[in-house]
A = this chain, B = another copy of it.
Amino acid sequence: MTGKPQTSPAQTAPDLSGRIVISVDAMGGDAGPSVVVAGIAKSAQKNPEIGFILHGPIEQLEPLVARKKVLKDCCEIRDVRDVVTMEDKPSQIMRRGKGTSMWAAIDCVKNGEAAGVVSCGNTGALMALSMLRLRKLPGVNRPAIAILWPSRNPQGFNVMLDVGADVKADAEDLLQYALMGTSYIRNSMDLKCPRVGLLNVGTEEHKGRAELKEAYQLISRNAEAANYEFVGFVEGSDIPGDIADVIVTDGFTGNVAIKTGEGTASLLRSAMREAFEYSFLSRVAALLAYTSLARLSKRIDPRRVNGGVFLGLNGTVVKSHGGADATGVSAAVKLAFRLAQQGFAEKLAARVASAVESTQDDATSTDSNVDAPISRAAGDHRQ
């Protein structure tokens, strides 16, 4: 944390009634608040229904917001003096983070002023504060971060979770991820019966770590009740593939996987750029192929899918990439807005609750030996 831990009342307050309000932590991104303000200005231009409550030091935010006319009537600034840095440990922030822009931004969701919150800041701190202020949904042990990943699926994306909320997950957590991930994709992409894959080092049932074999059984047994299809173990190559819509894994593996994918995509993009700048002929070719290349570029642009959603909390939290530019911030805001429009937080809560109920019903109505792990998973609300 930096700065003095104090907050002061709102300095500018346009009327946000009639809008879907998104609370935005202006601080903590790699490029500072100017990129965040540019991002919400982009969003405001495209979606006049969005209202913003922007949190951070007013002397930094006011001049930035003043320069964007589109924000004049839809953006309220809340002066918060303190900032969570990338170096702050989550445990410190939970104890002493009350005066930070991140805390204030989350509290707007807690107290019902906003329908969702967006932050580019420290992921660990954002998850810790979100859990502290919003609390976990009943039935959820470890919340997870879900992202969309470009894939060969008809919808163009897969959902993967957890990509970094926690470095570990046991079998029951992995079952919860399957339930939350299917709810997320079902609501946001209109898939009736999503296919769930469990990430492993091979597709054979005997492979991998012990907790994965246990999770395999749990996720398989809950498929019918929770209305998803379990395709079994999948491999890293299936993350951008088309055999599953939801990829379930622990936060350590998921985080390494998405960052490897991002790094590889970025390397290929540079290699492609170099190839087209190599000779006169290739530069002419690039001009001719301009439209095709632009379309390709858009399809594989990681900024389009910027925004990890925290699943398993009482409220919608979107984590934007720390290095996001204005386009990236705008994508994260759009995601929070879309989820708010759909009442996703409420639907997810209902989904998890009904899964807990239905698996409990199953456990009592069938052979108790076979279903023991299910009732254990459903009954264990270690909050």
Contacts and interface: CB of A to CB of B under 8 A. Distances in A.
A259 B235 contact: yes
Nearest to A280: B288
Interface string A244-268: 0000010111011111111111111
B272 A296 contact: yes
A170 to B, nearest CB: 14
Contact of A288 (B152, B206, B281): B281
B236 A263 contact: yes
A376 interface: no
Given A209-B167, A292-B278, A295-B275, A240 B256 contact: no
B291 A271 contact: no
A282 interface: yes
B263 A238 contact: yes
Chain A at the B interface: SS class: helix
Contacts of A265: 264-265, 268
Given A257-B260, A261-B261, A292-B279, A167 B201 contact: yes
A235 B256 contact: yes
Contact of A256 (B251, B253, B278): B253
Stoichiometry, as copies per complex, reads 2
Given A206-B89, A275-B293, A282-B292, A300 B268 contact: yes
B263 A240 contact: yes
A164 interface: yes
Interface string A153-196: 00000000000100110000000000000000000000000000
Contact of A272 (B124, B259, B272, B285): B272
Given A201-B252, A237-B266, A263-B240, A289 B282 contact: yes
B260 A278 contact: no
Contact of A239 (B151, B263, B296): B263
A279 B293 CA distance: 11
Contact of A286 (B207, B285, B287): B285
A291 B253 CA distance: 38
Contact of A264 (B199, B201, B261, B272): B261
18 contacts: A86-B204, A89-B206, A150-B267, A235-B255, A239-B263, A240-B267, A260-B261, A260-B264, A261-B261, A261-B264, A264-B264, A275-B295, A276-B289, A278-B291, A279-B292, A281-B288, A282-B288, A285-B292
